Chains A and B, each alone.
Chain A
Amino acid sequence: MSDLLTVENLTAGYGQAKVLRGISLRVGENEAVGLLGPNGHGKTTLLRCVSNLHRATSGTIAFAGRDTRGESPGSLVRRGLVHVPQGSRLFPQLTVEEALRLSASSSGHSSTWRDGIDQVFSVFPKLKERRRQLTGTLSGGERQMASLGMGLMARPTLLILDEPTLGLSPKVKHELSECIVRVRAEVSSVILIDGDMDLVLDLTDRYHVVLHGDVVDSGASDGSRSRDEMMSLFLGGTADGRH
């Protein structure tokens, strides 16, 4: 009903390789949904389809009550669906401030980019120190912060975060997780993928486990399912005989 995002029976792939096999998903208003599961099972492809970077073979996607088929990624951004991609090397020759400003202007918020940048700097104080630095010279953690900051600059109603802590050291990861908590507070709805299961369960209201291109388990992220159960789900696909 008041779903912000509805994905139904989506199939997609690359050439002969089928990646998504009729996956369905919904994200409500003011809701954070986590996607869990091993690498290579379609989480990123699902998100690429949602933001129209990759064309699904069949199935439907609706955002804010409207079918997104044929819509450009840019138009989705201006409607509030903002995707922070996995491991982006950003724009090596742009400064942090240029990259943030760019995100504001390309999402139709050029007149209020200064307010946006203040908000981003309050969430990521480190970016303020680095504002004149080229993004190509940032450390991995800082680059992720810039990437998330760019996402915030677009004033999302649904923010998609694909592996924000990928490849970071535990210390940097911890620092970034704190930032993500603050990002969560600024945005209505979130989809979060991350290899760190505890982080995902901490930050989201509901979770889905994606295996072989479909959802094999869903539930509230309140810790009702134990970590061991989760892990065996990842490995075998049937956690505890309930499926």
Chain B
Amino acid sequence: MDGISVIVTSTLVLGGLYMLMAAGLTLIWSTLRVFNFGHGAVMMFGAYLTWSLLDAGGLPVAVALLGAVAAMALIGLAYEFLLVSPFIRRPNGDMLVMVATLAATMLLQSGAQLIWGPEIKQLPPFGGARVEVAGAVAQGSQLVTILLAPLLVGLLALVLKRTGIGLTVRALEQNREHAQLLGIAPRRVYVFVVVVAIGLATVAGALLGSMQFISPGMGSDPLLRAFVVLAFGGAGSLAGTIAGAYAIGLLEAVTTYYFGLSWSPVLVFLAMIVIMLVKPEGLLRTKVRSA
């Protein structure tokens, strides 16, 4: 494989992982006005749960992932119940929730350390399929990530566009007070949004856990990258998130290939700072929004 094909494959894989993370963050941001610092830890916890179902339960990896998503959805309910709803309606409630999600990060990381111990774990690849297009090769979990991530996020966009709950979510995003006057209960939207976001993060965790190792700190890097994606795509727009995820994936793939692993994050964050200075509403925000 030459440089270009390596870059193409890793752009699509990284873009996929980041969009799974960033889509949930965007959804939570646009409705609750909260940045969920716990998202990386949730991703990590999802990866561990998948591993447990696979290892202890002896389930096939895809089934284990589905089980983990279901289990994490319950954790999502608890997350909303314990961290969001007690605080969100207070004055400066969004700040309180943000701090609560920081606390959740600590709790989940220590919890994972206690439950699963310090040994490194890894999930087996999701299937052995291998595809080669014009020299670019993707196989196993890479291939699944490349296909599944845009599929799931696209599905989410469709749900938001076409279903009743989707309409409710968009209304709350756009005008919270008027939405309440129409009879929309913000709580139902919060539950929906948190559960969906955590489900997507679980998928990202399991996919990453089959390509790299699972450890309590594995979620921090993807969380930071997803944060950069939000800055690029403009928080609050799903189309911007998808485009932003691929943009950051590409930037990271290119910088890693030409400048090495240690320089890549520096350049990615440098790019973010420049974007925030020049176009704080997000690179693609206006274009996407008016489409």
Q: Interface of A with B (CB < 8 Å)?
A: 51, 53, 72-74, 77-78, 82-85, 88-94, 98-99, 101-103, 105-108, 110, 150, 154
Number of A-B contacts (CB under 8 A): 68
Q: Mark B165-176, 1 if CB is under 8 A from A, else 0.
A: 001101100110
- Residue pair A105, B164 in contact (C-beta under 8 Å): yes
Tell whether A88 pairs with B185 under 8 Å between CB atoms, given A98-B167, A101-B167, A102-B167: no
Bound complex: CA A101 to CA B166 (Å): 13
**Does chain A have a CB within 8 A of B279?**
no
Bound complex: CA A90 to CA B173 (Å): 11
Tell whether A74 pairs with B175 under 8 Å between CB atoms, given A93-B170, A93-B289, A98-B167: no
Contacts of A72 in B (CB 8 A): 185
- Residue pair A85, B181 in contact (C-beta under 8 Å): yes
Contacts of B177 in A (CB 8 A): 53, 85, 88
In the complex, which of the residues A51, A53, A90 contacts B175, with contact meaning CB atoms closer than 8 Å?
A90
**Does chain A have a CB within 8 A of B56?**
no
Bound complex: CA A74 to CA B179 (Å): 9
- Residue pair A78, B183 in contact (C-beta under 8 Å): yes
Contacts of B168 in A (CB 8 A): 102, 105-106
Tell whether A77 pairs with B181 under 8 Å between CB atoms, given A88-B175, A90-B175: yes
- Residue pair A77, B183 in contact (C-beta under 8 Å): yes
- Residue pair B185, A107 in contact (C-beta under 8 Å): no
Instruction: Kindly provide the distance from the CB of A39 to the nearest chain B CB, expressed in whole angstroms.
Output: 19
Instruction: Kindly provide the distance from the CB of A238 to the nearest chain B CB, expressed in whole angstroms.
Output: 35
- Residue pair A83, B174 in contact (C-beta under 8 Å): no
Tell whether A94 pairs with B167 under 8 Å between CB atoms, given A73-B180, A85-B177: yes
Pick from B170, B179, B183 the residue with the most CB of A within 10 Å.
B183
Instruction: Kindly provide the distance from the CB of A16 to the nearest chain B CB, expressed in whole angstroms.
Output: 14
The 4 nearest A-B residue pairs measured at CB: A77-B183, A106-B183, A74-B183, A91-B174
- Starting from the known contacts A102-B171, A106-B168, 10 additional A-B residue pairs (CB-CB under 8 Å) come to A53-B180, A73-B180, A73-B183, A82-B181, A88-B177, A90-B175, A91-B171, A102-B167, A102-B168, A103-B183
**Does chain A have a CB within 8 A of B90?**
no
**Does chain A have a CB within 8 A of B182?**
yes
- Residue pair A94, B170 in contact (C-beta under 8 Å): yes
**Does chain A have a CB within 8 A of B184?**
yes
Write 14 A-B pairs (CB below 8 A) sorted by A numbering. Answer: A53-B177, A73-B180, A73-B181, A82-B181, A85-B178, A89-B175, A91-B178, A93-B174, A98-B167, A103-B182, A105-B167, A105-B168, A106-B184, A154-B183
- Residue pair B183, A108 in contact (C-beta under 8 Å): yes
Closest B residue to A147 by beta carbon equals B178
In the complex, which of the residues A74, A84, A98, A99 contacts B180, with contact meaning CB atoms closer than 8 Å?
A74
Contacts of A88 in B (CB 8 A): 175, 177-178
Contacts of B179 in A (CB 8 A): 91, 106
Contacts of A108 in B (CB 8 A): 183
Bound complex: CA A191 to CA B74 (Å): 44
Closest B residue to A92 by beta carbon equals B174
Closest B residue to A82 by beta carbon equals B181
Bound complex: CA A83 to CA B177 (Å): 11
Bound complex: CA A194 to CA B215 (Å): 62
